[in-house]
Structure 1
Amino acid sequence: MSKLGIKNIGILVTGDVKAPISKATTIIVEDGKILKIGEEKLLEEFKCDKVIDAKGSTVAPGFIDSHVHPVLGDFTPRQNTLGFINGSMHGGVTTMISAGECHTPGRPKDATGTKALAVLAHKSSKNARPGGVKLHGGALILEKGLVEKDFEELAKEGVWLVGEIGLGSVKDPEEAAPMVKWARKNGFKVMMHTGGTSIPGSSTITAQDVINTDPDVVSHINGGPTAIAPEEVNKIIENTKMALELVQCGNYKIMKHTVNAVKEKDQLERIIVGNDSPSGSGIIPLGVLRTLSYVASETNASAAEAICFATGNTAKAYGLNVGFIEEGKEADFVIMDAPMGSIGKNSLEALEAGDVPGVSMVIIDGEVMFTKSKNTPPATHGAVIC
């Protein structure tokens, strides 16, 4: 069984927002899963096939982009984009969650067609990892005519996501709420578009609409790009326990308000991070990192907490075995440091200064995907394979 060791870790971010920093300096990986976490003497106990020297830089769980709109593989016709998933990996993203394949040309809007699209996208993403990233595709777009049996049939085919409600013909809580119950009964996780319209075909959804529909995830609570008012955000925070998604392609003022309001209530575990790309706002390969930089530098959350928003919080919201540096979890990591020239002495200080860290390595299932990001600034200290 193959083993990988990572040593000389300067800062280890756990993914647990309640305890975001570990004193451990060494990680042992076996067959794609985290085997042990501790001190460098572990390398004497476990003979590794490959050892990575982190050179005192930060090791964090690979980022999870909770909101993407793919079509098939690494292609979407939105902005005529090919390779956006690979580009995001160079920004530290190792897992992506589809919020619906809404940009599919000629997207079917009948019950049979929307089911077929979800099955196709789910199985395609399961069979092939675009750019190496774990894409969870095939998020069912709710259309009129769907019945409870449809959710049962989809679950048997492995489909487990409902794309953000509001993208399809089902928009009102009276129609959506029964479908949400059918979906949840069959093991689905449900997202809901929130706020103003973002592109033609989407619709404005209020806080009360969200409460009445009862999804698992409040998609882009900071709008896409038109956000709901601060009092509407407060209403969702105070009256639900839903995961609250921040997106890069949204309203920054509401992003700041949301983080600070949740921090005040000691509920930071509710916040997750997505890009909402490809979108009308364009393609932003560093979208997750840029969101973390904004949150760390402009809100009351620390950089370590912000990283947990895009890792462990999202993993918990969707029931994934990633997002934490814990024994038994899938070995997905981003190794990063302050970018050259930053006033920050490490990646966390750089984020809190408003900088984007330099990513020197991304690892997925214990496999090194690259040894220098093509999209971030160069790291002051880059990890190397010994």
Structure 2
Amino acid sequence: MITLIHGASHIIGGRLDNPVLDGDSVLIEDGVTSKVGFWSELDSENVDTTIDVKGAVISPGLIDPHTHPVLGDFTPRQNTLGWISSHLNGGVTTLISAGETHWPGRQRTPIGAKSIAMAAAQSSLDLRPGGAKLHGGALLIEPGITSSDFDEMVEAGVHLVGEVGLGSSIDPEKIRGPIEKARSRGWVIPMHVGGASVPGSHVVGSDLVLALKPDVICHANGGPTARPFEEILECILQTEAAIEVVQAGNTLALVKIVEYLNQNGLLARLQFGTDSPSGTGILPLGILRTIAYATAFGGVDPASALCCATGEVAARYHLDVGVIEAGRAADLVILDVPKGGQGTTALDSFARGDIPSVAMVLVDGEILVHPSRVTPPPANAPQISG
């Protein structure tokens, strides 16, 4: 199956070193991007389907690295089915678990943490809720987890750590051992930073960050309550961690953090998440809305912000998605000015603080959303032929 998408105003590459690619077209063969360039230069003789996006922006599918799934598309926190499908309609093609924290009856013990991570990882191996790619089963670190526990989890498909700080202890001497065991296996270490999020959770500030040096400072703008900006700045300056801002956090802190990273050449460390499902709710447009905040209030170039939400986070989590280039999975989102919106492209929408229209979403080259049921309709609907 060969699909040609053409007529784009911009093609977002996904990496900050080359945010906008040359060309207006993407050629897809059997679910994989084969060529990127100008329509006049691409061989379109054997194409089965052509899609004219009429000046829209082609971006890699968005990645939400901060979700709290349980099993598949069900969340007991909001007692809701189908939330991942709603995320897909918000342009998110890949979701990463930050821990199955809302698992009913979750036991904060080594065997409890291991069992939940293994069950959730096994559940997500071949599951595509709503068509999106879900990486579930993130281990919530507990004191006493052993090397043999890690070996068993690896065999079950676990490769993620949930937010450090959501287990039974935040004593660095008690949890340092399991963290180092995970790190030695190449697992990314994210850490909850901010106020307590749910009953039984901890307040985590810069002291624990500096003691354990995580790879990702989760919801630096609060989950949902932010630490003082001086503490956040200390974390930025004294670690190399990615700095995540989320829709379910403090908006003022979000703007301050993004402004600081942007003005000091640290944009490669910026990461967007939703921290959902949570008490704040289910946020299908959480990534798009946070990008709009970062561009309209934080001064970030919209194309660069899209890279921070796609290829940059994919590289951080060692995932083979988030980039538009030959040989990569054709997970794409077509973004346009919403009907009645300002500007000529979706990049203008972001700069004005608007959420663009999700005109189409493809996963592995297959059209799954056309148009989105959670955004306004596009100013110019894509035209499909063939």
**Range into which the TM-score falls when normalised by the shorter chain:** over 0.9
Q: 1:211 maps to what in 2?
A: 210
Alignment of 1:116-155 (within 5 A): 116-155=115-154
Q: Match of 1:241, SS?
A: coil
Partner of 1:227: 226
Which SS does the other structure have where 1:144 is aligned? coil
SS in 2 for 1:335: strand
Q: Deviations over 1:119-148 (max 9, x none)?
A: 111111112111111000000111232122
Once residues 276 and 45 of structure 1 are traced to their aligned partners in structure 2, the CA distance between those partners, rounded to angstroms, is 42
Which residue of 2 is the match for residue 71 of structure 1? Answer: 70
**What are the superposed Cα offsets for residues 11-40 of structure 1, whole Å, 9 maximum, x if unpaired?**
111111233212311111122221111111
Could you say which residue in structure 2 is the equivalent of 1:82? Answer: 81
1:47 is displaced (CA, Å) by 2.0
Shift of 1:149: 2.3
Opposite residue 123 of structure 2, the aligned amino acid is S
Quick one: distance in 2 between partners of 1:290 and 1:201?
30
Give the match for residue 283 of structure 1. 282
Alignment check: 8 A CA contact 1:176 1:213 kept: no
Q: Which amino acid aligns with 1:114?
A: A
Aligned equivalents of 1:181, 1:46: Cα separation in 2: 54
Distance (whole Å) between structure 2 residues aligned to residue 201 and residue 134 of structure 1: 30
Give the C-alpha shift of residue 207 in structure 1: 1.4
Shift of 1:230: 1.3
Q: Distance in 2 between matches of 1:103 and 1:48?
A: 46
Partner amino acid for 1:339?
A: P
Compute the displacement of 1:177 (Å).
2.1
Secondary structure at the residue paired with 1:199? coil
How much does 1:183 deviate?
0.2
Cα shift at 1:43: 4.1
Report the Cα distance in structure 1 between the residues aligned to 2:45 and 2:97, rounded to whole angstroms.
Answer: 38
For residues 326 and 231 of structure 2, the distance between their equivalents in structure 1, rounded to whole angstroms, comes to: 40
Amino acid at match of 1:252: T
Give the letter aligned to residue 325 of structure 1: I
The SS at the match of 2:43 is helix
Partner of 2:50: 51
Please give the secondary structure, in 2, of the residue aligned with 1:189.
coil
Q: AA paired with 1:286?
A: L
**Cα RMSD after superposing both structures:** 1.3
8 A Cα contact 2:296 2:353, kept in partner: yes
CA displacement, residues 177-213 of structure 1 (integer Å, 9 cap, x when unaligned)? 2221100112222211011112212211111211211
TM-score relative to the length of structure 2: 0.97
5 Å-filtered alignment, 1:185-196, equals 185-196=184-195
Report the residue type matching 1:312 in the other structure.
Answer: G
CA distance in structure 1 between the partners assigned to 2:306 and 2:328 by the alignment: 17
Asked whether the equivalents of residues 245 and 273 of structure 1 are also in contact (C-alpha less than 8 Å), the reply is: yes
Deviation at 1:95, TM superposition (A): 0.2
Specify every segment of 5 or more residues in structure 2 that has no aligned partner in the other structure, as ranges: none
- Measured in 1, the distance between the counterparts of 2:77 and 2:187 equals 26
1:192 alignment partner, SS class = strand
- CA displacement at 1:75 relative to structure 2: 0.2
| Partner SS, residue 44 of structure 1 | coil
Q: What is the SS of the residue equivalent to 2:103?
A: coil
Find the counterpart in structure 1 of residue 376 from structure 2: 377
- Listed one character per residue, the Cα deviations across residues 323-382 of structure 1 (whole Å, up to 9, x for unaligned) are 111222211110011111112221011111111101110000111102110000111112
Query: Contact 2:2/2:28 (CA < 8 Å) preserved in 1?
Result: yes
**2:351 aligned partner:** 352
- In structure 2, how many angstroms separate the alpha carbons of the residues matched to 1:212 and 1:315? 26
Q: 1:23 — aligned with what?
A: 22
Instruction: Work out whether 1:98 is the aligned partner of 2:102.
Output: no
The equivalent of 2:111 in structure 1 is 112
Residue correspondence of structure 1 range 282-361 to structure 2 within 5 A: 282-361=281-360
Letter in 2 for 1:62: G
Q: What's the % identity of the aligned pairs?
A: 44
> Which letter does structure 2 place at the counterpart of 1:33?
V
* Residue pair 1:192, 1:219 contacting (<8 A) in 2 also: yes
- Find the aligned partners of 1:255 and 1:144 in 2 and give their Cα distance: 32
Which runs of 5 or more structure 1 residues have no equivalent in the other structure? none
Would you say the 8 A contact 2:291–2:302 is kept in 1? yes
- Using the alignment, how far apart are the partners of 2:155 and 2:212 within structure 1? 24
Partner SS, residue 244 of structure 1:
strand
